[in-house]
Structure 1
Amino acid sequence: MHLEKLSFGVGDRFAHQAAAQLRAFEQASELGVDIVPVWNKSNREHQFVGSNPQSVRTAAQHAVEERGWKKSWYVDADHIQLSTVDPFLDCSDFFTIDVADFIGTPVAKDQIDQFVDAHGELIGELRLPGTQTCYKVDRDFVTRVARQYLGACKAAGEIYRYIANAKGEDHFIAEVSMDETDSPQMPAELMVILAALADEKIRLQTIAPKFTGRFNKGVDYVGQIDHFEREFNEDLAVISEAVRRYGLPENLKLSVHSGSDKFSIYPVIRKAIKDKGVGIHLKTAGTTWLEELIGLSEAGGDGLELAKEIYAYSLEHLDELCSPYASVIDIDCSALPSVEEVTQWDGPHLAATLRHIPDDPRFNANVRQLLHVAFKVAAQSGDRYLDLLKANREIVGEQVTRNLLERHMKPLFIG
């Protein structure tokens, strides 16, 4: 399998919005930009809502048939490890191999020395094509990076080979993810990491590093835009050079995780990939679930009532819900409105509080982040939530489609 130039990962927590999501890809195509949909859902998310990996493919397949989609599409086993991959093997063709937990894993000194000895090309001046950057890299630097990341790369190789043995190397797309960690991987470090992944014989088609700055769930990027722009362009140059050096797949591209709603850096990404003629993979994750809540709020009646109940429960269980996502959310609890206040809101007010339009004075990024990680609260309501999605399919679907096209695809790929 050969992943296309522009691909876009979409989450669908409750497997009801695949057709609405696909409409956004259709409309982007009508505007002259072909983007490949990749439906993604992690093992953790399946556990939270009580679903199974096959449900993602089933929903996507149904949408593809319903809409008559004739182009490529994929299903991503998102953030899998060796302990969680088995249920995804039959129903996924894109595997995000998450080795963030293995960063810093001790590796024998002789293995590190062997790696450094085998890669003398890493030592010296690292000139990045298309940039003004030149890194001075010495043996100590390569050794230090290997000590930090070699264990993670070896774990990626082990997981990759396990998948390849089960499916065959030609039947899936491999991504390696190192983004859910505290420290970013700088461009010179990324070159060392790519050398190590190449040693593992991974047919790597996308890599998701940790970038500088905060990539919180469902809200805008927090950091220095000019710093991100320089780093992103240098990472693109590193990938180009690594492909040349190590024979990695020519379509290898950057993957931006927690990329949803990073409005301030979308112009930077768009310019960089356009100038260099390269692609990108971006994941929007749980924004679809938030658009469902927005649609139910707009619908009023029982939908609005349930949305308010979900907020009330989430506020009461804030620590429990936020703990698994602590590294990718920043919530100012003092800025969260009380349950009593929210109870008085009408549907458009609650919808506007959640809808990510930064200039709207009603928008509250803290409420949005809290509800972003509260999807399992909806799952606890059982059929009630799903029945409301069905009853309000049109208005909910409209929010989903518009969000993907207007707030993500156009700024990223169309301008």
Structure 2
Amino acid sequence: MVLKAFREHFGRGYEVYEKSYREKSGFSFFLAKGEEGKLLIVAGEKAPEGLSFFKEHKIEDKRFFFCRKNHENLEVLKTYFSDLKPVPIGLKPSFGTGDRLGITTPAHVRALKDSGLFPVFAQQSVRENERTGRNWRDVLDDATWGVFQEGFSESFGADADHIKKEEDLIAAAREGFSMFTLDPSDHVRNLSRLDEKEKNAIFENILKKERLDKIYLGKKYTVVKEKVEFDEKNLRDAALVYYDAVVYVSMMYQILKDEISDFDLEVSVDETETPTSPLFHIFVVEELRRKKVEFTNLALRFIGEWEKGVDYKGDLALFEKEIKMHAEISRMFGGYKLSLHSGSDKFSVYPIFSAATDGLFHVKTAGTSYLEAIKTVSIVKPSLFREIFKCAVNHFEEDRKSYHISADLSKAPDIDEVKDEDLPKLFEDSNVRQILHVTYGSVLRDISLKKALFETLEQNEELFYEIVANHIKKHVTLLGGN
């Protein structure tokens, strides 16, 4: 009745998102889109306490309050619907969908609803926030409005990703994030850069702090019928690579515990040059447990190349052998999942990863949804896509510095020579994908480009959602989801 009354009076000026409609405590809440953009509409005898609105209309016995889609009104909405607050995941299989644009969550909801994978709809790294000009509040609010728009009333998570600094950790905790990914890569040593003398000297300094030799030397484990044991050399190397990183994680964990009591913690050692051997994996877990760090996910540096925006590069048979060992180790210790970062389009490894971990996994994607958004532009507005691509090419060499990719700019096409109908096919080219993948910050800092990009996606909203959702569903299916 409420939606019918709204349409009868405002139907020409507003498009209603029917799935967003909810009722609670005598109020009706839903989203509508008009010339002012997307708005929260609240119907009731009076306005809910704390709600801010810029106009109201009375229709029969109800008043319709037109409200901005802002943080304050979202907080009011959460007081009525607690499912709009992210929650910890625990050991359920889970999938994170980063959204660099802040408008893609409805597509992510469509892809992950009833999939069997616990969704993490708010997921952004510090690096991505810096490049997009967003903050933790923006990320969580944008995702939550998307959840509300789609009428999703199940649980979801929010991941403050790749945190290195205490202030970022505290800020994310205070905004309501439920998952925190600590990135200790600045404290991980690269063995290839040290000679034997340096290795021994550093290890001796570590032993002065803690006698790791007395704890680990001669300690044996059986992993997938293989026996692994700490000897003087591999213990030294494990400590060199990870000891300081674990100390850092322990310190950050205590800071987080002082802020909130219930959360998922992910420890990420994936953005390092040194692959995590099974014995190194054991060392990290043993040390985290020894320091009483309770963690939910562990992201290792698996063998092979995990470049952004493209499929896995490496020996799949060797990866399968190693992931089975890592999965066995995680089951042996218990209480945590293996996490796969750089999950964007790692389609060839998904079935192997899912089978080996038997559902004890978390997978992250981010740039892949941005690429699908740009692909949508290439379909509906070729001229804008060409501008975006040129901007990406111009900023690629600078933007690539903090990403692990192998794209060759010399192999980029002359975009003016590609026919309009062939532009979407460029997304099959790994060079094009990576050029676009890492230059999102430069594109979004260009005010005119950003405005045109958002307007184009808004005007083609359903196609945009369909393209992204279909792509994410491919991830879900290969991971064994529904």
Contact 1:179 1:257 in 2 (8 A): yes
Which residue is equivalent to 1:203?
A: 294
Which residue is equivalent to 1:110?
A: 207
Q: 2:126, 2:431 → 1: CA distance?
A: 26
Q: AA paired with 2:342? A: S
- Once the two structures are superposed, the pairs formed by residues 14-413 of structure 1 within 5 Å of their partners are 14-26=101-113, 28-29=114-115, 33-83=116-166, 84-91=168-175, 92-104=177-189, 108-111=205-208, 113-119=210-216, 123-128=218-223, 131-168=224-261, 171-243=262-334, 250=335, 252-274=336-358, 278-300=359-381, 304-325=382-403, 328-341=404-417, 344-346=418-420, 348-354=421-427, 363-382=428-447, 383-405=451-473, 407-413=474-480
Are residues 116 and 70 of structure 1, via their aligned partners in 2, closer, same or farther at CA, if it must alter by over 3 Å? Answer: farther
If asked which structure has higher relative contact order (CA below 8 Å, sep 6+), I would say: 1
Q: 1:378, 1:397 → 2: CA distance?
A: 21
Task: Specify every segment of 5 or more residues in structure 1 that has no aligned partner in the other structure, as ranges.
Answer: 244-249, 355-362
Residues 88-138 of structure 1 show CA distances to partners (whole Å, capped at 9, x for unaligned) of 122211000000110129673335652332346xx343201xx23222432
Are residues 38 and 102 of structure 1, via their aligned partners in 2, closer, same or farther at CA, if it must alter by over 3 Å? Answer: farther
Q: AA paired with 2:406? A: D
Runs of 4 or more off by more than 6 Å in structure 1?
none
Deviation (angstroms), 1:333: 2.8
Which residue is equivalent to 1:10?
A: 97
Contact 1:20 1:401 in 2 (8 A): yes
Q: 1:305, 1:87 → 2: CA distance?
A: 40
Q: Which has the larger radius of gyration?
A: 2
2:160 counterpart SS class: strand
Deviation (angstroms), 1:413: 1.2
Q: AA paired with 2:429? A: N
The TM-score, its normalising length taken from structure 1, stands at 0.86
Q: Which structure has the highest strand share of the two?
A: 2
Q: 2:283, 2:208 → 1: CA distance?
A: 15
2:159 counterpart SS class: strand
Q: 1:214, 1:41 → 2: CA distance?
A: 22
Q: 2:439, 2:422 → 1: CA distance?
A: 19
CA-based RMSD:
1.9
My pick for the range that moved more, 158-167 or 378-387, is 378-387
Which residue is equivalent to 1:359?
A: none
Q: AA paired with 1:126? A: Y
Residues 152-194 of structure 1 show CA distances to partners (whole Å, capped at 9, x for unaligned) of 00001111111111112xx211000011111101011110111
Deviation (angstroms), 1:414: 4.1
Deviation (angstroms), 1:55: 1.1
Q: AA paired with 1:373? A: V
Contact 1:112 1:143 in 2 (8 A): no
Deviation (angstroms), 1:267: 2.0
Q: Which structure has the highest helix share of the two?
A: 1
Contact 1:310 1:377 in 2 (8 A): no
Q: AA paired with 1:152? A: A
Contact 2:396 2:438 in 1 (8 A): no
Residues 205-252 of structure 1 show CA distances to partners (whole Å, capped at 9, x for unaligned) of 000010000001110000000110011110011112223xxxxxx2x0
Are residues 110 and 4 of structure 1, via their aligned partners in 2, closer, same or farther at CA, if it must alter by over 3 Å? Answer: closer
Contact 2:265 2:294 in 1 (8 A): yes
Deviation (angstroms), 1:259: 1.3
Task: Specify every segment of 5 or more residues in structure 2 that has no aligned partner in the other structure, as ranges.
Answer: 1-87, 191-201
Q: 1:165, 1:222 → 2: CA distance?
A: 41
Q: 1:50, 1:20 → 2: CA distance?
A: 22
The TM-score, its normalising length taken from structure 2, stands at 0.75
Q: 1:114, 1:175 → 2: CA distance?
A: 27
Residues 269-308 of structure 1 show CA distances to partners (whole Å, capped at 9, x for unaligned) of 132234xxx42100111111101001111113xxx22221
2:122 counterpart SS class: strand
Are residues 22 and 4 of structure 1, via their aligned partners in 2, closer, same or farther at CA, if it must alter by over 3 Å? Answer: farther
Q: 1:88, 1:172 → 2: CA distance?
A: 12
